[in-house]
Amino acid sequence: MNTQSIFEAEQNHLLQVYARADFVLDHGYGCTVVDTEGREYLDCVAGIAVNALGYGDPDLLAALHQQAGKLWHVSNLYHTEPQARLANLLCETSFADRVHFANCGASANESAFKFARRYARERARSETGLSALETGLSALETGLSALETGLSALETGPSALETGPSFEKYHVVAFSGGFHGRLFGSLAATDRPKYQQPFEPLMPGVRFAPFNDLDAAAAAIQDDVCAVIVEPIQGEGGVHPATREFLAGLRTLCDQHDALLIFDEVQCGLGRSGSLWAYQGYGVTPDMLTAAKPLAGGLPMGAVLLTQRVADAIHPFDHASTFAGGPLVSAVAAALVQKVSQPAFLAAVREKGEYLQERLAELHSPHVLAVRGQGLLVGLELDIPAADVVQAGYQHGLLLVGAGPNVLRLAPPLIISQAEIDQVIERLEEVIGER
Residue 162 has pLDDT above 60, yes or no: no
What CA–CA distance (Å, rounded) separates 284 from 375? 18
Across 167-252, the runs of DSSP E, i.e. the strands, are 171-175, 206-209, 225-230, 233-234, 240-241
| Amino acid residing at 132 | A
What CA–CA distance (Å, rounded) separates 418 from 398? 16
% of residues, the chain, pLDDT over 90: 88
Q: How large is the average pLDDT for residues 4-21?
A: 92
Residue 165 has pLDDT above 80, yes or no: no
Residue-wise over 216-250: b if at least 16 C-beta within 10 A, else e?
A: bbbebbeeebbbbbbbbbbbbbbbbbbeeebbebb
Q: So what's the pLDDT on residue 336?
A: 98
Q: So what's the pLDDT on residue 128?
A: 61
% of residues, the chain, pLDDT over 70: 91
Residue 163 has pLDDT above 80, yes or no: no
Average pLDDT, the chain: 92
What CA–CA distance (Å, rounded) separates 44 from 421? 9
Q: So what's the pLDDT on residue 167?
A: 80
Q: So what's the pLDDT on residue 132?
A: 45
What CA–CA distance (Å, rounded) separates 410 from 355? 13
Q: Quick: pLDDT tens for 298-349.
A: 999 999 999 999 999 999 989 999 999 999 999 999 999 999 999 999 999 9
Q: So what's the pLDDT on residue 166?
A: 55
Residue 160: how many CB atoms within 10 A of its CB?
A: 20
Q: Quick: pLDDT tens for 74-105.
A: 999 999 999 999 999 999 999 999 999 999 99
Do 404 and 379 contact (CB within 8 A), yes or no?
no
* Of 155-164, 182-191, 239-248, the least confident: 155-164
Higher pLDDT, 156 or 199: 199
Q: Quick: pLDDT tens for 269-283.
A: 999 999 999 999 999
Residue 260 has pLDDT above 80, yes or no: yes
pLDDT band at residue 392 under the 50/70/90 scheme: very high
Residue 18 has pLDDT above 60, yes or no: yes
Q: Quick: pLDDT tens for 109-143.
A: 999 999 999 999 999 987 765 444 444 445 445 55
Domains of the chain, start order: 3-57+342-433 (3.90.1150.10), 81-119+166-340 (3.40.640.10)
- pTM of this structure: 0.91
